[in-house]
Amino acid sequence: MRDSPGSVVTLLCSGIQLYSAERRIADCILKDVKWASVVTSAQLAHASQSSEATVTRLCHKLGFENYRKFQLALARDVMEQQEVEVLHSSSPDPLRQTLQSVQSNRQEEIRATIQALNLRQLRKAMSVLRSAEIIEIEATDNSLPVAMDASLKLSGLGKRCMTSAVAAKAKAFAATLTERDALLLISCDSRSERLLETARTAREHGAAILLITCDRRSPLAAQADHLLLASNRAQRIVDTDPAPSLLSSALLVEVLYYLLLTGEDLS
């Protein structure tokens, strides 16, 4: 018997590529997981304006043999969510409730990020970072702290790194990169004109370009040699939370750092 692929909610939030009809089904499920766990495939198809065949195709794409096993996994998601809600309701301390929310959100974000990883792209990215003589790390807006953290982590491993919040400085440094170097870009929306200019400059000089993003179809993604997708569907803890894709980007930096730290040949 095949093992269960795991949480349906996590799979749907992992950045998996879906067609428009499949995405409608996914959105319908995420809108009300408890309802979706008890309805028939025909009812789910009707509610999402799709077909039962598309529902079945989505089940198979997520790794489930049939709709019944898909529905059982959804029911487990509902039970886990109810357990979290019970824990929250049994704790009158608002600080403890927030800490429990942080823990739950972090665990879900880790699962979604790891499941979304393309191992082929990850291996190539690791190869580039290992061999690069200089690594320029750039980001914009709220992704800047992630870039700074990446620079500190990789520098701690003996890599020559630089990053700057100043657009002119970033572009000027990119112009000094060679085919022996790498440019690591971190962007939640991948539509920054500043990062595009930096990427074009680095490409002109032969540097390898790595991109951490949640938007595989953006102009910046088209400039990248290697793409690592961040999850962008995780549930926020409160309205003031950073964007889920920012949390996932930071997790991807941790993954790269850990793999470089171990020094193992994972090819």
For the sheet containing 160-162, what is the strand order? 160-162, 134-139, 182-186, 208-213, 226-229
Q: Which two tokens stand for residue 104?
A: 């739950």
Residue 239 and residue 78: Cα distance in Å, rounded? 23
Of 94-103, 126-135, 138-147, 164-173, minimum mean pLDDT range: 94-103
Token readout for 98 is 């927030």
Task: Give residue 85's pLDDT band: very low, low, confident or very high (50, 70, 90).
Answer: low
Interatomic CA distance for residues 30 and 5, integer angstroms: 17
Mean pLDDT of 86-112: 71
The strand pairing partners of 209, in sequence order, are 183
The pTM of this model reads 0.64
Domains of the chain are: 8-90 (1.10.10.10), 119-262 (3.40.50.10490)
Please tell me the predicted confidence (pLDDT) of residue 217.
Answer: 82
Instruction: Tell me the percentage of the chain whose pLDDT exceeds 90.
Output: 48
What CA–CA distance (Å, rounded) separates 108 from 256? 19
Q: Which residue has the higher pLDDT, 91 or 192?
A: 192
Pick the closest to residue 211 from 91, 119, 148, 121 (CA basis): 121
Q: What confidence tier does 79 reach under pLDDT thresholds 50, 70, 90?
A: confident
Question: What 3-state class would DSSP assign to 139?
Answer: strand
Report, as an integer, the average pLDDT of 1-23: 77
DSSP H helices, the chain, are: 8-12, 20-31, 33-36, 41-47, 52-61, 67-90, 94-116, 119-131, 144-156, 167-174, 193-204, 219-223, 244-262
State the average pLDDT over residues 112-137: 90
For residue 199, how many other CB atoms are within 10 A of its CB? 25
d(CA 179, CA 122): 20
